[in-house]
Amino acid sequence: MVLAMHMSDGLVNPPTALAFGAIAVIGLAVASSRARRDLDDRTAPMAGLVTAFVFAVQMINFPILPGASGHLLGGAIVAMLVGPWVGSMCIAIVLVVQALLFADGGLTALGTSIVNMALVGVFVGYAVAFALRGLARRSRRGLIITAFVAGLVNVVVASLGFVLQYAIGGAGGADIGTVLTLMVGLHTLIGIGEGIITAATVGAIAASRPDLVYLLRRPGPPLDVRGRAVSGSTS
């Protein structure tokens, strides 16, 4: 059995890989500058642990259909626990460790993978959780529903990232409609698993340390939909 879970080299052509590599670098540069204000003596160790936790859980492939499995991406977990800027760095670090240390995910595919899971997945997960923050802050049950939905949607939209990349520069000439149907179908099933893991993780942490859940911590919205700081937000 070969455990591999991310894009290999050669699935998209070099110009596409390079273009998404550039988008990944720019996105992470912006994220690291924005991440500073979300990191302090308490949240920095939390962010390190959340990253290690996502690495661990990504190893656990769960069955979704006979002959097919899925695993956590983690975008909604990190977005809800440490915020989208720090969270996108968490997922990118996991992907780099997996590619460099475990030969999982091609080196030239790192850009496409980072865009799909660390940027698209995290920010979509955050957008869903942020839209439902009223529900999430009302009760534990509301938080769990929010986490489930954010987890599910983050996986499905991240899978669309691959479809877009394949449509732009995919190798092998597979029918794009078939790729789209299969990717969305399989990742809807995986998304149910992701939603359950996201709900269990965020729910458990909120039960013991709600102050360490980014989505619950701030009384006002820290960011608007375009990621700018909202005037009047604290700190």
Closest approach, Cβ 231 to other proteins, in A, equals 16
What x-and-dash track marks residues 65-94 binding other proteins by CB under 8 A?
A: --xxxxx--------------x--xx--xx
Tokens of 116: 């799909």
Residue from 23, 39, 160, 196 that binds other proteins (CB under 8 A)?
39
Of the residues 19, 23, 44, 135, which one makes contact with other proteins according to CB under 8 A: 44
Say if residues 193 and 115 touch (Cβ distance below 8 Å): no
Instruction: Let me know: does 144 contact 184? Beta carbons within 8 Å.
Output: no
CA angle, 154 then 33 then 36, to 5° = 90
**Strand segments (E) across the chain:** 62-65, 68-70
Closer to other proteins by Cβ: residue 231 or 235: 235
Among 17, 118, 147, 212, contact with other proteins (rule: CB under 8 A): 212
For residues 161 to 190, the per-residue mask of contacts with other proteins, x marking binding by CB under 8 A and - elsewhere, is -x---x---xxx-x---xx--xx--xx-xx
Of 57 and 145, which has the nearer Cβ to other proteins? 57
Residues 102 to 131 in contact with other proteins, rule: CB under 8 A:
102-104, 106-107
Strand segments (E) across 72-178? none
Nearest Cα residue to 53 out of 176, 202, 174, 167: 202
